[in-house]
């Protein structure tokens, strides 16, 4: 996790450390 764009557990697109 971190500076990479990925999907959270909820399936919401998150970038950087903007997850959860």
For 10-19, write each residue's pLDDT tens digit. 656 555 555 5
As to burial, measured by CB atoms within 10 angstroms (0-12 exposed, 13-18 middle, 19+ buried), residue 14 is middle
Average pLDDT over residues 1-20: 57
Residue 11 near residue 5, CB atoms below 8 Å? no
> To which residue do tokens 């970038």 refer?
15
pLDDT at position 4 is 59
- pTM metric for this prediction: 0.10
3-state secondary structure of 19: coil
Q: Is the pLDDT of residue 9 over 60?
A: yes
Q: Are 5 and 13 in contact (CB under 8 A)?
A: yes
The mean pLDDT of the chain is 57
């Amino acid at each position: 996790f971190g500076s990479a764009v990925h999907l959270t557990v909820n399936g919401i697109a998150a970038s950087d450390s903007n997850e959860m």
